[in-house]
Structure 1
């Protein structure tokens, strides 16, 4: 079940929700047909709960929103990119363990 703490992003909302955010944002670029995306989804939802108020967690469907992934060179999914002050801090590709995502988030805190 998806967390209500996860923001559903689109090409239209990306700038306001991510680039202009006052807190760091971890964006999960995913697609509904992607098995690794489904595997990592509960981990991403858990991080949204764990870091509520410190980091915004967002998901962007690459099939429905093709412009933004192209701008950030997303070639494989899931790709998780961490933004802070409108800039890319770091990124990982693939269904990685929770501790790897936590160490990514800590770079921005």
Structure 2
């Protein structure tokens, strides 16, 4: 399932999308009741378009997909995990501005040695 440039991930399809991917993947763990998650969503839409050649973005609703949240020890939403080659490179918890998120991503994408 793909909404524009963002993949909707769930407990069933998570591993098939994420485990064998060698590109950068930014995973947004969110919940429908979370206001910061709602504010982050349009920022992720913009980022998905700007970084479409360097980054895959996936979203996991932690209420509907509790197993994936538990697997990655998600205790707060929104939580963003940046992965490459099935390894967590970094994590951001809470709301980020578009500027902050772009700088966070560029720090890793411009330094490809984090594989």
Q: After TM superposition, is the score higher than 0.5?
A: yes
Pair 29,63 (structure 1): closer, same or farther in 2 beyond 3 Å: same
Alpha-carbon offset, residue 34 of structure 1: 0.7
Per-residue CA deviation, residues 27-76 of structure 1 (Å, 9 max, x unaligned), is 00001111110011000111101000210011000011001111111101
Q: Structure 1 CA distance, aligned partners of 2:80 and 2:50?
A: 17
Structure 2 distance, partners of 1:23, 1:88, is 12
What's the offset of the Cα at 1:108? 3.4
User: Which residue pairs with 1:23 in the alignment?
Assistant: 23
Instruction: Describe the SS at the equivalent of 2:8.
Output: strand
1:90 aligned partner: 90
Give the gaps of 5 or more residues in structure 1. Answer: none
Give TM-score, length-normalised by structure 2: 0.87
Structure having the higher Rg = 2
Does the aligned pair in 2 maintain the 1:79–1:92 contact within 8 Å?
Answer: yes
SS in 1 for 2:92: strand
8 Å Cα contact 1:9-1:58 kept in structure 2 = yes
RMSD (Å), alpha carbons: 1.2
